[in-house]
């Protein structure tokens, strides 16, 4: 019954590796997002997709590549991981793109790069 789910929950990896985080929502929403929460708890949007189309692409290094195979899924692939990529990554979804739409968040993926 989980609305927005992410896998894995924890990810510990070495610098230079490539890793992926998966996100799925069963709310029937059209829009999905990736946010990054840094060590100071600051949250910032990275990407958003609407109906599999990229809408928002913030100033994120191109080592980060989102992929949306369908409306219910938004994955995040990270190449050549760096120490500074250590953070909590949240997936979220909303019914549509609009300022009044509530975004529902997944449980987060805690990434630690050693």
Partner 1 sequence: AQKITQTQPGMFVQEKEAVTLDCTYDTSDPSYGLFWYKQPSSGEMIFLIYQGSYDQQNATEGRYSLNFQKARKSANLVISASQLGDSAMYFCAMSLHTGKLIFGQGTTLQVKP
Bond prior to 8 in cis (omega within 30° of 0): yes
- 56 or 72: whose CB is closer to partner 1? 56
Q: How far is the CB of 7 from partner 1 (least distance, A)?
A: 15
Residue from 25, 75, 103, 111 touching partner 1 (CB under 8 A): that is 103
- 45 or 72: whose CB is closer to partner 1? 45
The phi and psi torsions of 84 (rounded to 5 degrees) equal -70, -10
DSSP state, 83? Answer: G
CA distances from 104 to 31, 46, 58 (A): 11, 16, 20
15 binds partner 1 (CB under 8 A): no
Stretch that binds partner 1, among 11-19, 20-28, 40-48, 59-67 (CB under 8 A): 40-48
Residue from 14, 41, 62, 83 touching partner 1 (CB under 8 A): that is 41
Find all residues with CB under 8 Å of 83, minimum gap 6, and list them: 15, 113
Q: What residues make contact with partner 1 under the rule CB under 8 A?
A: 31, 33, 35, 40-45, 48, 50, 55-56, 88, 90, 92, 94, 96-105, 107-108, 110
């Amino acid at each position: 019954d989980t609305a927005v789910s992410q896998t894995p929950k924890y990810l510990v990896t070495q610098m230079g590796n490539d890793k992926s985080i998966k996100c799925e929502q069963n709310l029937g929403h059209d829009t999905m997002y990736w946010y990054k929460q840094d060590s100071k708890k600051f949250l910032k949007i990275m990407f958003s997709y609407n109906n599999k189309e990229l809408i928002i692409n913030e100033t994120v290094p191109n080592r980060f590549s989102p992929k949306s195979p369908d409306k219910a899924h938004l994955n995040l692939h990270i190449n050549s991981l760096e120490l500074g990529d250590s953070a909590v990554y949240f997936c979220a979804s909303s019914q549509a793109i609009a300022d009044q739409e509530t975004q529902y968040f997944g449980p987060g993926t805690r990434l630690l790069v050693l």
